[in-house]
Amino acid sequence: MNRNALASVLLLCIALASVVVGVVHLIRRDRAALVEQFAADRKAQVDAAAREVADALDDAADDLRFAGELLSRPGSVTEHRRELLALLEVVGQYKAIVVLDSEGAQRFTIMDRRAGPAVVRGAVGTVLTEAGREALTRTPGDILTSPPVAAAPGGWYRVFATAYAPAEDGPGGALAVLVDTEPFFAPLKLISTEPEAKLLLIGAHGVPTPASDTTLMDWYKRLDAEAGSIPAFAELVGHMRAGERGAVRIPEGEAARLGLGAADAIAAYTPIRMRGGVHWAVATLATTEELRAHERGVILRVALGAILVTFFLVVFGAYVIVASRRAVALQESRRHADRLAHLHEKTQKILDNIPTGVLALSAAGRITAVNQALRERLPPTAVGASLPEAFPNAPAAVVDRLASLVEGACTSGRVLSLHGEPLPLFGAEGQYRVHAVPLEQLDAEVRVLLVVEDLSNVHALESQLLRAEKLATVGILAAGIAHEIGTPLGVVRGRAEYVLGKLGAQHAQAAGVQVIIEQIDRVSRTIRQLLDFSRVQPALVREVALGPLLRGAQELLHGEAERRKVKVELEVPEGLPALSADPDQLQQVVLNLALNACDACEPGGTVRLAAHVEAPGEPGALSGVRVTVRDDGCGIPPESLNRVFDPFFTTKKRGQGTGLGLTMVAQIVRNHGGRIELESEPGQGTCVTLWWPATLAPSEERHAV
């Protein structure tokens, strides 16, 4: 390297050193600004969490006032007890309620059955009664908050009480609620999850809550005796007790005594106010040790970067001198490399565009190349792996067959194949044709090619054709059986009615004859379903307003839903486009799906009918409407999902279904140009989704498929 180059490198190093010194100076000068910003961020964080807690406490106060309004209205004790019991069921934090009259005598007490044996009824009832009597001395609507209830575990249980004024002809009095306040303060725990941050939460009566850091709680208890050794902490507690908001800087020595590390700490504090009640106070104490570490790290990285840059500049200069002498030889090598790369790229493109999977194996049995068709189905680490590693989801016996096929092809020097065998190469079983093609032994990297043809789609199409033929045969057979059985059944029913008329309703055998008639009617209904399945009527489509149709279906289902104690909900937005449908067949589809959903639900379950506009396929045109029927019932086993639309398949008990309802639903949907999909999970419920086309020309007719 000449003198000019050396001088340039030295000047660059001097410039880099100057930059490092300047950066260090700026970092130290701006450290106070960083600490101030750190304190502002902490205050914003604790303020946001405090607002969430205050909102939760205000919600609890609103619940008490609302309960007071309910109790002030005329009504019996049973009615008021039922209303408050519903409040306990809905809000999990409420564990017990005591209601007092205007004289302070107990009207009734309610305990949450989920409160557990830890909440002792007698002791808690005494605390609730005392709080309620104290609330009677205050203005109605004001919220009285008690200290932590000693009779309840954990230190989180408190009593919220309020008085209520009588309404028209209603009673006055007070109610007191035992509240588990721990969930209300959950947002505060999130801001203290960082290892360098500690939380101090002072309750409404000046007692630290269990959420506070144990070290800070110990110092809080010793504050009166040792305030001189922790003046900043004492100042912080004074601000918190006064209900003020702000931040306090804690010096390094005091921070170490408080367990905050060997650096200055920032304490951000704010009150949590409850409308009509007292206030809590929360503070987070965080060390600035991370800022110091960050400062040292920046200085170190800048210095190290300058050293590395200088080193690389020197190395680069030496490399340039050596590289200039090898330029001519490298140009020739580059020409040959470009030629080889062109040939490799051409070969790779040819292999990647072959729909059949191809992989190359070396003489050692390692995979050296995989084309695109097979690369998507193998693990990312397939190249360089052995056959068992490349096919991890295939059974060992199948991989052994592939290895034997490759070994046999290499030994014999000819192509060996497996023709259309069911092989679970990728986990699920499929139909594959496999060829082992040996190559010349000159290249040990590519000794044999393994060609894998996936015949699963062809096999699936064959299965679908066979199933379609089977369904067509079933339909023809069903129509014939229904026709042949229907006529004799009509004759038998007529004779049975004749005999019943002769015997009279009081005859001993009249009940048996009536059973015969009812069973014949049941068989006749099954026959009608068979005929409907084999002769689906053409769909005479016209404009159908979906909203009125769904509301009408809800009315029709009302009696059946009440009988089964199932709730039927409806969600129909305004502005739905008219559907192109046969209204009778569309109503049949909705009723069939809704009745199946009711059958799947236990008493207390819910069936939800909903409709939404699908996103338009093109600008300015609606593509249709999505109708969903969802239940929270027992669900469908995975092994039955692919069979639910098959004729005569049913998951119901024997005699409760023919297995034709969903088959006819699927036929009607297809005849209207729609689509039906089903999602289900055992124990979680089932959702059937219909995609239905919007209005077509009024005269257009869809014929049965």
Contact 359, 449 (CB under 8 A): yes
- pLDDT category at 526 given cuts 50, 70, 90 is low
Tell me: the pLDDT tens digits for 301-355?
766 776 776 677 567 666 666 666 677 677 777 887 777 777 667 666 666 667 7
Contact 128, 141 (CB under 8 A): no
Tell me: the pLDDT tens digits for 210-265?
888 888 888 888 888 887 888 888 888 888 888 888 888 888 888 888 887 778 88
Q: Assess if residue 301 is contained within a domain.
A: no
Q: Assess if residue 341 is contained within a domain.
A: no
Contact 205, 147 (CB under 8 A): yes
* Shared domain check, 156 and 89: yes
| Phi, psi (rounded to 5 degrees) for 423 | -125, 120
* Shared domain check, 446 and 469: no
Q: In what order do the strands lie in the sheet with 606-613?
A: 567-571, 606-613, 625-631, 685-692, 675-681
Query: Which residue type occupies 4?
Result: N
Q: Assess if residue 25 is contained within a domain.
A: no
Mean pLDDT, residues 636-647 taken together: 77
* Shared domain check, 202 and 159: no
Q: Assess if residue 514 is contained within a domain.
A: yes
Radius of gyration of the chain (CA): 41
Measured between alpha carbons, how far is 305 from 17 in angstroms, rounded to an integer?
10
* Shared domain check, 559 and 528: no
Sequential DSSP letters for 297-362: HHHHHHHHHHHHHHHHHHHHHHHHHHHHHTHHHHHHHHHHHHHHHHHHHHHHHHHHT-SSEEEEE-
Query: Which residue type occupies 154?
Result: G
* Shared domain check, 386 and 443: yes
For the chain, what is the domain count?
5
Residue 152 sits in a domain whose CATH number is 3.30.450.20
Residue 494 sits in a domain whose CATH number is 1.10.287
Domain-ending residue, one of 395, 430, 454: 454
**pLDDT for res 689:** 92
- pLDDT category at 687 given cuts 50, 70, 90 is very high
Measured between alpha carbons, how far is 75 from 350 in angstroms, rounded to an integer?
85
pTM strictly above 0.75: no
Q: How far is CA 205 from CA 139, 412, 649, in A?
A: 20, 92, 68
**pLDDT for res 346:** 67
Which of 176-185, 348-357, 420-429, 626-635 reaches the highest mean pLDDT?
626-635
Q: Assess if residue 21 is contained within a domain.
A: no
Measured between alpha carbons, how far is 499 from 504 in angstroms, rounded to an integer?
9
Residues in the chain: 705
Residue 688 sits in a domain whose CATH number is 3.30.565.10
* Shared domain check, 193 and 146: no
Domain-ending residue, one of 454, 488, 523: 454
Three-state SS for 162? strand
SS3 string of 384-404? CCCHHHHCCCCCHHHHHHHHH
* Shared domain check, 685 and 546: yes
Residue 211 sits in a domain whose CATH number is 3.30.450
Which residue's structure tokens are 């009608």? 528
Measured between alpha carbons, how far is 625 from 546 in angstroms, rounded to an integer?
9
Q: Assess if residue 10 is contained within a domain.
A: no
Q: In what order do the strands lie in the sheet with 173-180?
A: 106-111, 94-101, 173-180, 157-164, 144-145
Tell me: the pLDDT tens digits for 557-570?
888 888 888 988 88
| Phi, psi (rounded to 5 degrees) for 441 | -85, 5
**pLDDT for res 183:** 86
Among 374, 506, 388, which Cα is nearest to 451's? 374
CB contact burial 87-118 (16+ within 10 A = b; e otherwise): bbeebebbbbbbbbeeebeebebbbbeebeee
Q: Assess if residue 6 is contained within a domain.
A: no
Domain-ending residue, one of 454, 482, 514: 454
Measured between alpha carbons, how far is 537 from 225 in angstroms, rounded to an integer?
93
| Phi, psi (rounded to 5 degrees) for 559 | -65, -45
Q: Assess if residue 414 is contained within a domain.
A: yes
* Shared domain check, 469 and 442: no
- pLDDT category at 610 given cuts 50, 70, 90 is very high
Contact 691, 624 (CB under 8 A): yes
* pLDDT above 60: residue 48: yes
Mean pLDDT, residues 476-498 taken together: 71
* pLDDT above 50: residue 698: no
Tell me: the pLDDT tens digits for 92-151?
788 888 888 888 888 888 887 776 655 656 677 788 888 888 888 888 888 888 888 876
SS3 string of 476-501? HHHHHHHHHHHHHHHHHHHHHHHHHH
* Shared domain check, 686 and 559: yes
Q: To which H or E segment does residue 452 belong?
A: strand 448-454
**pLDDT for res 697:** 43
Domain range spanning residue 162? 53-177
Contact 299, 24 (CB under 8 A): yes
* pLDDT above 60: residue 699: no
Query: Which residue type occupies 321?
Result: I
* Shared domain check, 569 and 664: yes
Residues 6 or more apart from 66 whose CB is under 8 A from it? none
* Shared domain check, 148 and 123: yes
* Shared domain check, 169 and 100: yes
Tokens of 344: 């490799």
Which residue's structure tokens are 């290892």? 195
Contact 50, 271 (CB under 8 A): yes
Among 579, 648, 655, which Cα is nearest to 613's? 579
**Most distant CA pair in the chain, distance:** 132
Tell me: the pLDDT tens digits for 414-455?
888 887 677 777 777 777 888 888 887 767 778 888 888 777
Which residue has better confidence, 116 or 2? 116
Q: How far is CA 294 from CA 31, 43, 67, 303, in A?
A: 11, 21, 54, 14
- pLDDT category at 528 given cuts 50, 70, 90 is low
Strands 567-571 and 606-613: parallel
Nearest-10 crossing angle of helices 327-352, 289-325 = 110
Which residue's structure tokens are 């199932």? 566
Exposed/middle/buried for residue 58 (C-beta within 10 Å: 0-12, 13-18, 19+): middle
Q: To which H or E segment does residue 238 belong?
A: helix 231-241
